[in-house]
Chains A and B, each alone.
Chain A
Amino acid sequence: MTQRIKLDCRGIWKIYGDDPGGFLARHGDKPSLGQFAQAGMVGAVRNTSVSVMEGEIFVIMGLSGSGKSTLVRCLSRLIEPTAGEVYFEGRNLLEMSEAELIDLRRRKMGMVFQHFALLPHLSVLENAAFPLEIQGVDRRTREARAREMIETVGLQGREDYYPRQLSGGQQQRVGIARSLVVEPDLWFLDEPFSALDPLIRREMQDEFLRLQSLLHKTIVFITHDFDEAIRLADRIAVMKEGVIEQIATPEELVLHPATAYVEDFTRHIPRAKVVRLHSIMSAGVPAAAYAGELPGTMTVAEAADQVEAASAPFKVLDEAGVAMGTVASRAVIDVMIGRTMT
């Protein structure tokens, strides 16, 4: 891949307790879990490195207390990491002055919060326009821009409502509109759909994917819901007790879990939903009759109906549109019913 790295963090530590810096230094920058317990310190994030590529949806998944929220706050420097480096477009975030940081956040970053974090005294329109207001953009311009965003998230007609008059899903749409109003390059979403009902959550996930297909932002998405991670992610980082267990595409994660912990999550995930055709195709395209062509990035579940209905196999194309292999109905059925692949 030739994608550029948008956000790069190396060796992040976030330790809570008395004199965390000193504690880290005393233990050679690599204290063990036992040493944490002994000193009564909490290692919320331990020696974590993550690179987020431009334009990808990078999901950090972990249960509560896994340190995922702390990590994303270190990445956005909402909290100061105890140690480590965070590079955004090549500039070290942690060395920036307050003014530089404010400027960067105003122009380049947006964030969506679990509990929406809307300002209760402002209307939908004013909330969405708020990031521009604090930048001193004049009322006409900022409201026009905010209206545009409100329309994008599908809330037109509700501009003059106040947050408490909206449902949770609608409130989060306002949160999304607000975070996008400055056209950020990097978009943080901290468990944006966790506070919503399951049905609404699903709807919002679709909405999110639709938006991303329009906007192509670089996204860091936090969730505790593995299904959500699988559904949305280009790549997933699984966190446990402050440490990243594995970073991989959903497919790799399901097919090759690195640890038993990750495997626990993947066990109930239907393979067909994550496995893509290029993983099950038989390489090479012998001359024969084919029912058609399918992209290799398509999941088995998406391709299943077509492949099964056809009497002949399909060609599988790579990203450049060149046929690389074939897939027949048997391979698809193997995945769908969980027959072991060898």
Chain B
Amino acid sequence: MSGTAGQGEAVSLPMPTQAQDKARKRGWLFWLLLFVTTWGFSQWSFALYKALDARWIIRFPKQYELQLDTVISRLMSWLVEEASFGWFTFQQFTRFLSALVEAPYDWVRSLLIDGFSTGIGQQAVQQVPPLSWIAVIVMAMAIAAYARNARLALLAGGCFLYLALFGQWESAMVTLASVAIAVPIGVGGGLLLGILSYRVPVAERILRPLLDLMQTVPVFAYLVPILFLFGFGPVSALVATVIYAMPPMVRVSTVALKSVPEDIIEAGRMMGCTQRQLLWKVCIPTAMPSLMVGVNQVIMLSLNMVIIASMIGAGGLGYDVLTALRRLDIGGGIEAGLAIVVMAIALDRVSQAFATRNVRQRFIKGVPYHQRHPLLSTVLLVLLLTTVLGQFLPFVQSYPDDYTLSTSRYWAAGMEWINVNFFDQLEAVKTVLLTVLLLPVKRFFGGIPWAWGIIAMGLIGWRIGGWRLALMCTLMTFFLAWNGLWAKSMVTVYLCAVSVLLASVIGIPLGVWAGQSARANSIIGTVIDTLQTLPSFVYLIPVVMLFRVGDFSAMIAVVLYALAPAVRYAAHGIRSIDTEMIEAGKVSGCTSRQLLWRIKFPLATPSLLLGLNQTIMLALSMLVITALVGTRDLGQEVYIALTKANTGQGIIAGLSVAFIAIMADRIVAALARRSQQRLGLE
């Protein structure tokens, strides 16, 4: 269906009607005019301010600035100190929630690391030791085998063995404990909210913008209020992780439930299901494969949060990365970072295997228990053996330190070698890019007067998405100016624009290549997967060593992180082109270059635009972290607020980042929709 429609359109493309032609010309004229005007304003705004002695042109007048941050800070202290439900205060309520989360967390921690003890502090006596490292590895393998097969079990086992071999075991178990608590909460909460918005359309309308904010407000912005409400320690980190990781689960749940085939629901109703039975026995099991995609997302995002969570007391691998890099132990940082990657790989593959799991074997009567449940029996046996043996043989209980490996020295040496031998060449590249790209773009965005910025965003919104988008863009841009964050917002936009541009220039060709060659795909896929799960801190510090503190280092880090969607969507777009189209092109005698430019690219446009959208989102989420290498953007504002424990300032700056992200998202999404419609792919 879509194929034929697309084909029809493709045929008519080279011969547009006159009306279309005119509209297209008008479109170009609009964008040209908008750009020229903006450029003019940007160039002459300073001169204009001097000539007219009107400082308001470049600075939003201080006396009209919104003092929202103080209001929010005051609200926050009211919440913490005074708010009350009558019987109990708001803070008691949040602390109660903390206790609810802390109990299972402590239990898992005891199971994996501390063992179960009676008594406290020095009087504590260990009654039951924690699981031995061997037992944990065997369990991971058993779960993988249950989810798919022996190969996956080997992968999972290998991943966990890495943790032991490289001396990351204890930290990894701390991280695993956090993930083990955050993921069920995120999945459960996400599922319930997803069900709510599936059932109640009003709830969906309220939830959607909230989810947008949860996904775009940088985590740093709400760490402080979370600390105030939930206290210091791992629980706050868990709460932050859940807030960050839950939104995709809500969205996936709603979509999954909505896409349960109508006749399955009707079948359920005709069998006389009550509403509850219909949901839990029919819809949710049917939607399970899609729901597992959401679970997978929650796991991956929880692992993305490991570093930030460790800044507020989660400990674990994230803390190891941070401390290693503080003492410039790059190798140590990379090893701990790779431990996160390795854990992500194991959890990702196993949870995906659950999503597509093949049917279990049904047991036959009369077979002994251990043969009916070989995996479970093995695990129980190993558990028993290791627990008993662990009492006498310490290496069974915990992996001996003397046998751990470290590659730290080699990393440091390699880094020094690059630094000493190639610094000048890298410096030259950097200088060129700075002068031809970064600085001009920075001047362009930095010069735009706030008033024109608001108008221009309104025009762009109107042109692309109609008056609704125009209104939204105008209000959100005004919010930036009104809160006195115009200059920092423009630095953010500039850094984001440059990074996204570079990520696309590098990523799209890689994606096209990966889309056409299976071997390229597997190599490139592994690299970008690693780049995305490897905590950015790990490469932030080497980047600073090579490129010094400043915008350029920030940009490199952002590009490395935001490359993934550009590559993935480009590859996906190329791969999902109908083979008939390609064949049609070949039959018409296209060369492979013509095939790429005339057929593949135009048809992959919607996918490329979606990739662009994701690239922008990731770039913005990463910008906040680059404040750590000294950018002067909204990310820095958020970070300053964090270190000064200023709730209001953090939330306002966080909202500003979110608004920029939401505007970019809506505009690019509208573009993608239009190009999909044009190609008849919708």
Q: Which of A231-282 contact B (CB under 8 A)?
A: none
Q: Which of B245-292 contact A (CB under 8 A)?
A: 261, 263-264, 266-267, 269-274, 277, 281-282, 285-286, 288
Assembled-state Cα–Cα distance A131/B270 (Å): 9
Which residue from chain B places its CB closest to the CB of A184 in the assembled complex? B270
Assembled-state Cα–Cα distance A119/B282 (Å): 7
Contacts of B274 in A (CB 8 A): 102, 134
Known: A121-B288, A134-B281. A165 touches B359 (CB 8 A): yes
Known: A102-B274, A105-B270, A162-B359. A119 touches B261 (CB 8 A): no
Known: A115-B263, A117-B264, A119-B264. A110 touches B270 (CB 8 A): yes
Find B285's partner among A117, A119, A134 (CB 8 Å cutoff). A119
B362 proximal to A (CB < 8 A): yes
Q: How many A-B residue pairs have CB under 8 A?
A: 67
Assembled-state Cα–Cα distance A110/B362 (Å): 29
Assembled-state Cα–Cα distance A233/B366 (Å): 49
Assembled-state Cα–Cα distance A117/B268 (Å): 9
Which residue from chain B places its CB closest to the CB of A127 in the assembled complex? B267
| Cross-chain contact A135 with B272 (CB below 8 angstroms) | yes
Contacts of A178 in B (CB 8 A): 267, 271
A316 proximal to B (CB < 8 A): no
Assembled-state Cα–Cα distance A169/B403 (Å): 60
Can you list, as one digit per residue, whether each of A176-207 has a CB less than 8 Å from chain B (1) or not (0)?
00110010000010100000000000000000
Contacts of B273 in A (CB 8 A): 102, 134
Assembled-state Cα–Cα distance A135/B271 (Å): 9
Assembled-state Cα–Cα distance A123/B281 (Å): 14
Q: Which of B146-174 contact A (CB under 8 A)?
A: none
Q: Which of A65-116 contact B (CB under 8 A)?
A: 73, 76, 78, 102-107, 109-111, 113-115
Which residue from chain A places its CB closest to the CB of B364 in the assembled complex? A160
Assembled-state Cα–Cα distance A260/B102 (Å): 76
CB distance from A215 to the nearest CB of B (A): 18
Number of interface residues of A (CB under 8 A): 35
| Cross-chain contact B362 with A105 (CB below 8 angstroms) | no
Contacts of A109 in B (CB 8 A): 270
Contacts of A221 in B (CB 8 A): none
Contacts of A131 in B (CB 8 A): 271-272
Q: Which of A114-133 contact B (CB under 8 A)?
A: 114-115, 117-123, 130-131, 133
Find A111's partner among B267, B285, B286, B359 (CB 8 Å cutoff). B267
What secondary structure prevails in chain A residues at the interface with B?
A: mixed
Assembled-state Cα–Cα distance A165/B361 (Å): 13
Contacts of B272 in A (CB 8 A): 102-107, 131, 134-135
CB distance from A50 to the nearest CB of B (A): 19
Assembled-state Cα–Cα distance A133/B359 (Å): 21
Most buried by A among B266, B270, B273, B362: B270
Q: Which of A135-184 contact B (CB under 8 A)?
A: 135, 160, 162, 165, 178-179, 182
CB distance from B280 to the nearest CB of A (A): 10
Which residue from chain A places its CB closest to the CB of B285 in the assembled complex? A121
Find B266's partner among A103, A107, A111, A122 (CB 8 Å cutoff). A111
Contacts of B285 in A (CB 8 A): 119-122
| Cross-chain contact A78 with B362 (CB below 8 angstroms) | no
Find B263's partner among A117, A135, A165 (CB 8 Å cutoff). A117
| Cross-chain contact B286 with A105 (CB below 8 angstroms) | no
Contacts of B269 in A (CB 8 A): 78, 105
| Cross-chain contact B286 with A119 (CB below 8 angstroms) | yes
| Cross-chain contact A121 with B286 (CB below 8 angstroms) | yes
| Cross-chain contact A120 with B266 (CB below 8 angstroms) | no
Assembled-state Cα–Cα distance A115/B282 (Å): 16
Which residue from chain B places its CB closest to the CB of A79 in the assembled complex? B266
Contacts of A105 in B (CB 8 A): 269-272
| Cross-chain contact A117 with B271 (CB below 8 angstroms) | no
Assembled-state Cα–Cα distance A102/B270 (Å): 8
CB distance from B259 to the nearest CB of A (A): 13
Assembled-state Cα–Cα distance A114/B362 (Å): 29
Contacts of B270 in A (CB 8 A): 76, 78, 105, 109-111, 179, 188
Assembled-state Cα–Cα distance A120/B261 (Å): 11
Assembled-state Cα–Cα distance A121/B263 (Å): 16
Assembled-state Cα–Cα distance A121/B286 (Å): 7
Which residue from chain B places its CB closest to the CB of A106 in the assembled complex? B272
Can you list, as one digit per residue, whether each of B286-301 has a CB less than 8 Å from chain A (1) or not (0)?
1010000000000000
| Cross-chain contact A130 with B271 (CB below 8 angstroms) | yes
Most buried by A among B261, B263, B277: B263
Which residue from chain A places its CB closest to the CB of B269 in the assembled complex? A78
Assembled-state Cα–Cα distance A109/B268 (Å): 12
Contacts of A114 in B (CB 8 A): 263
CB distance from A193 to the nearest CB of B (A): 15
| Cross-chain contact B266 with A78 (CB below 8 angstroms) | yes
CB distance from B261 to the nearest CB of A (A): 7
Which residue from chain A places its CB closest to the CB of B288 in the assembled complex? A121
| Cross-chain contact B362 with A160 (CB below 8 angstroms) | yes
Assembled-state Cα–Cα distance A117/B261 (Å): 8
| Cross-chain contact B267 with A117 (CB below 8 angstroms) | yes
| Cross-chain contact B271 with A106 (CB below 8 angstroms) | yes
CB distance from A111 to the nearest CB of B (A): 4
Assembled-state Cα–Cα distance A114/B267 (Å): 11
Contacts of A134 in B (CB 8 A): 271-274, 277, 281
CB distance from A298 to the nearest CB of B (A): 36
Known: A102-B272, A131-B271. A120 touches B286 (CB 8 A): yes
Which residue from chain B places its CB closest to the CB of A73 in the assembled complex? B266
Q: Which of B212-233 contact A (CB under 8 A)?
A: none
| Cross-chain contact A123 with B267 (CB below 8 angstroms) | no
Q: Which of B103-162 contact A (CB under 8 A)?
A: none
CB distance from B678 to the nearest CB of A (A): 27
| Cross-chain contact B263 with A113 (CB below 8 angstroms) | yes
Assembled-state Cα–Cα distance A165/B360 (Å): 13
| Sample (30) of A-B pairs whose CB atoms are under 8 Å apart | A76-B270, A78-B266, A103-B272, A105-B269, A105-B270, A105-B271, A106-B272, A107-B272, A110-B270, A111-B270, A113-B263, A113-B266, A114-B263, A115-B261, A115-B263, A119-B282, A123-B359, A123-B362, A130-B281, A131-B272, A133-B281, A134-B271, A134-B272, A134-B273, A134-B274, A134-B277, A134-B281, A160-B362, A182-B271, A188-B270
Further 12 A-B residue pairs, CB within 8 A, beyond A103-B272, A121-B286, A122-B285: A78-B266, A102-B272, A105-B270, A113-B266, A113-B267, A115-B263, A119-B285, A120-B285, A120-B286, A134-B271, A178-B271, A182-B271
6 closest cross-chain pairs (CB), A and B: A106-B272, A117-B267, A105-B272, A111-B270, A131-B271, A117-B263
Interface residues of A (CB under 8 A from B): 73, 76, 78, 102-107, 109-111, 113-115, 117-123, 130-131, 133-135, 160, 162, 165, 178-179, 182, 188, 190
